[in-house]
Amino acid sequence: MIFDYGGVFSSPLFGGLENFETTMGYPEGSLVTLLFGEGTYIRGGGGDPCDGAVDGDMPTHDFHRLERGEITLDEYVAGLAERAPTVLGREIDLDAYQRYLSEMSLGVHWPLVHRAQRLRDDGLALAMLTNNIREFSDAWRATFPVDELFPVVVDSSRVGMRKPEPDIYVFTCEQVGVEPHAAVFIDDNADNCAAAEELGIETIRFADPWTAIDELDAMLERRGTRSIR
């Protein structure tokens, strides 16, 4: 059983970014493009950010490189400042952006945490697969007992791969000790789920914790796997 972190165990990331963009007077949609590239990254939908140079068969952007651990957070921020006049039409106010980040609330979907704890107690193999940033590691791991709950944690910034690249799913399954067709993956991003499905991994597209738990329990019952809710 493989779980995403952001937008699944946590509330959606970068909430209120559009309001911040409006408050700062940046053109509509320009801040998302600057931060992540073209796409709908913060909404968890299809359209993984993909503007920038091409890395093999996978489009890339500085945010991708940050999530793979190829550049530091400081290097990423320096890139934002350099590109901002072209994308936003003026310089980005980094102090205001830092204040926005510091005030951004990040909740935890505790019903899903408790359900995962029962899955672990029932003997199911659990793993977390997250696209994340090396410098944020201590902060997100502290939101709930991540390392206690998940024997396998695959952090993109530590392994040099990121979703939806196929290799990171294969790597995660290898760490768990299961073949892809035996795994289940829960993520809020459509592209990440689609990439997993292409490898034969069954997926659950996360919308809210209670719906996800119901879909997970139905899947376990269909597979004949006992688990106490």
- Predicted local confidence at residue 217, as pLDDT: 93
Give the global pTM: 0.88
DSSP 128-161: EEE---GGGHHHHHTTTTHHHH-SEEEEHHHHT-
45 token code pair: 């939908």
Q: Residue ranges per domain, the chain?
A: 2-10+106-223, 17-103
Closest listed residue to residue 192, CA positions, set 203, 178, 184, 179: 203
Q: Is the confidence at residue 157, as pLDDT, over 70?
A: yes
What's the token pair of residue 135?
């410098």
Residue 202, classed as helix, strand or coil, is: strand
| Measured distance CA(144)–CA(92) in Å, rounded | 33
Name the CATH architecture for the domain at 2-10+106-223: 3-Layer(aba) Sandwich (3.40)
Phi, psi of 7 (to 5 degrees): 85, -5
How far apart are alpha carbons 119 and 226 in whole angstroms? 9
The 10 Å CB-count burial string (b at 16+, else e) for 130-165 is bbbbbeebeebbeebebeebbebbbbbbebebbbbb
Question: For residue 55, is pLDDT > 60?
Answer: no
**pLDDT at position 129 over 60:** yes
